[in-house]
Amino acid sequence: METLLEQFGDTSKNVQACTFLEVSPNCSSGVLNKIRGEKMDKKDILRNVYEDFFGIEKLARENEKIARELEEMDSKYKPLKDEEIPEIIVNKDKESQGSEEASQIDKDQYMKDVFEEIDNLYVDDKSKDLLKKIIEYMRKYNEKIEKQYISFNLKIYSNNKETMSSIVKILLDSANIFKYLKNGEAAYYSMYDIEEVKQLERIYGDKNSIVIFQNFEGFNEKEDSFKNKYISKFDETLEKNENHILTILYAKNRDIIKDSFSKNEEVLQKFFDFEITGVEPDVQDTYQEVLNKLEEKMELTDEFKVKLLDYITKNYPANILPYPEYRDKLCEKILFTKELPEIEKEKTMEEIFEELNALVGLNKVKNMLHDLVDLIELKNKTKDDLKIKNINLHMVFLGNPGTGKTTVARIVAEMLYNLKYIKQNKLIEVSSKDLVAEYVGQTAPKTNAVVQKALGGVLFVDEAYSLASGQGQGNSFNEESIATLIQAMENYRDDLVVIFAGYTREMQDFLNANSGIVSRIGYTVEFEDYTPDELIQIFNQMMEKSGFVVTKEAQDKVREIIDEYKGTQNFGNARFVRNIYEKSIVKHASNTKGKKGKKVLKTISKEDISTENLLKM
């Protein structure tokens, strides 16, 4: 093949250009053979070959163009002047093109990696799909495939802060890679710390590309006037920064955010179209994470691994801690002691009924609970074979003071846990003061906080009739608490059992004033007053558990006291007997002062029975 160097002459000024032309793989021998002294601009030759080298235009069309230009060249080649030699930037453009290809490969790999990370998040499947679509849209917008900018403001519901942090990191990394938001950081702001409306200007004025608001319980405790002003400014600020900053509202559950915006729902509808819902890790997820963390620090035998799985299977479902805290605390205990913590033995149903049957009296209550357990066990055994409706276990306990309502409520919680009807063996005891706040706008959040604490178990509202006091007389606080409880009974009917308890007469007034509660009650249980014989039996049980022996004369004196007080208003039944028991112990200690005989020290005599300071009403 005849080289261009031979055709153009040996001039040093042309060496760089001619060498490139000689080795260019796209310059065919047919084209080169056409060079026969034609005249042409050398910069055009180099430019065309340069472009053809990178395939910017089709090879055939480029070859034709080169051939046509070469045919027009003069037979005598004139050397180029220095300033006419074009700059060859082949290597630079190769690097540029390689960089673009590498960038494209990196983006593809990033998408693959981030999708895998999303799949491992503790969120529901719908939320995973949403996150993937958001990341895909960011990329398509960056590559000009999508033209419409979308503000992906989010509501995130999760009790797992690690999950929340992972979601924020994914969004921030993706926004930076695909240049979807302004350059910046992710910043968390607690609503407890929001004291002034003007703080919003600083929050959105800082170098933040993602803003996360959390701890809305603190916001719900603020006065309505402040909340309205803040949300109005929030609306205005979001409008201004919609295309630059991603805003996230983060709470444990949907109701917390809903309460915060209860009077400004249009703001949520306007700016927050997307939501992500967290899920709790299951037993196997928990086991694998704990196992991985332990194996990083210590060697585990196969036997230990089996025992670890057994422990988590029994212990984790009843746990009330957020998942990361449960996992880390368990690992810390094991790493310190080199053994598994002891599991509190779960009572069998037989043991629970033994405890119930050991209670004095309450025959109607015992029969009702036996029937209830039989029904639940039948439903569990038959699954869907029998068309038994879901059992409504919300209850009302009616009875005078000291008739065993709280004690039975604890036993009910143990029964329902044993039957796997509730997730945790816990009873949360509250009264009206734990539910009703002192200031406007604080009662619903306060009541809801109690509900959240009770989820997975039983909420026992003692003296519930107090919530009815003042109804119809402008006492909106009590009405707000009742409305919140009714909503919780409906929303969490599969994760919460509520028991309202109180004196029979007062509770009737409470129920008459709240048809919404009555319609959600599955069982009404009446606790009858104890008879004098039953109260004597309760007194003897209390003494025996403490190691005392009660003389016949002492028992007779206790009966006389009971007969004297039993007809009084607000007679306390077992509570009254408890008072006699405690006062008698104190009196016995005084009467036996200086004595040493064990029999004397353990015997409760008639002289020990004290009625000092007992109120008669």
277-297 pLDDT, tens digit each: 999 888 888 988 999 999 999
Q: What is the pLDDT of residue 290?
A: 92
Task: With CA atoms as reference, report the closest residue to 564 among 607, 504, 611.
Answer: 611
Residue 63: pLDDT band (50, 70, 90) is low
Backbone phi and psi for residue 156, each to the nearest 5 degrees, phi listed first: -120, 125
Q: What percent of the chain has pLDDT over 70?
A: 79
Strand ranges in 296-370 using DSSP code E only, listed in sequence order: none
Number of H helices, E strands in the chain: 27, 12
Q: Where are the domains of the chain?
A: 4-88, 104-277, 283-337, 349-527, 532-608
Give the model's pLDDT for residue 425. Answer: 85
pLDDT in the model for residue 213? 94
DSSP sequence for 138-206: HHHHHTTS--S-----EEEE-S-HHHHHHHHHHHHHHHHHTT-S-S-EEEEEETTS---TTHHHHHHHS
pLDDT of amino acid 55: 42
**φ and ψ at residue 141, rounded to 5 degrees:** -70, -40
Q: Which residue has the tokens 């039953």?
A: 534
Residue with tokens 């994470």: 289
- Pick the range with the lowest mean pLDDT from 7-16, 140-149, 188-197, 242-251: 7-16
Span 349-527: which CATH code? Answer: 3.40.50.300
Q: Which residues contact 129 (CB under 8 A, 6 or more apart)?
A: none
Residues with Cβ within 8 Å of 609's Cβ and at least 6 positions away in sequence, in order, are: 554, 557, 558, 561, 580, 584, 587
pLDDT for 382: 76
pLDDT reading at 21 higher than 60: no
pLDDT of residue 508: 81
- The reply to whether CATH 1.10.8.60 applies to domain 532-608 is yes
Residue 448 CA to residue 57 CA, distance in Å, equals 68
Q: What is the pLDDT of residue 48?
A: 41
Question: Which residues pair with residue 497 across a beta bridge?
Answer: 458
Mean pLDDT is lowest, of 91-95, 142-146, 169-173, 350-354, for: 91-95
- Range with lowest mean pLDDT among 57-71, 220-234, 271-285, 328-342: 57-71
Give pTM, 2 decimals.
0.54
When pLDDT is averaged across residues 244-251 and rounded to a whole number, the result is: 92
Q: Judge residue 276's burial from the number of C-beta atoms within 10 Å of its C-beta, 0-12 exposed, 13-18 middle, 19 or more buried.
A: buried
pLDDT of residue 11: 40
User: How confident is residue 400, by pLDDT bands cut at 50, 70 and 90?
Assistant: confident
Whether 104-277 and 349-527 share one fold: the answer is yes
Q: Looking at residues 247-275, what average pLDDT do you find?
A: 89
Number of residues that this document lists for the chain = 617
* Residue type, position 244, single letter: H
The model's confidence at residue 72, banded by pLDDT at 50, 70 and 90, is low
Q: How confident is the model at residue 386 (pLDDT cuts 50, 70, 90)?
A: low
Question: 19-45 burial string, b = 16+ CB within 10 Å, else e?
Answer: ebbeebeebeeebbeebeebebebeeb
Average pLDDT, the chain: 79
Q: Residue 497 has what pLDDT?
A: 92
Give first-to-last CA distance, the chain, whole Å: 126
CATH class for domain 104-277? alpha beta
- pLDDT value at 137 more than 90: yes
Q: Taking the alpha carbons of 129, 134, 137, 142 in that order, is the dihedral positive or negative?
A: negative
Judge whether residue 319 has pLDDT over 50: yes
Q: Which helix (H) or strand (E) holds 61?
A: helix 59-71
Question: H or E stretch including 549?
Answer: strand 549-550
484-536 tens-digit pLDDT: 888 888 888 888 999 999 988 888 878 877 777 888 888 899 998 899 999 99
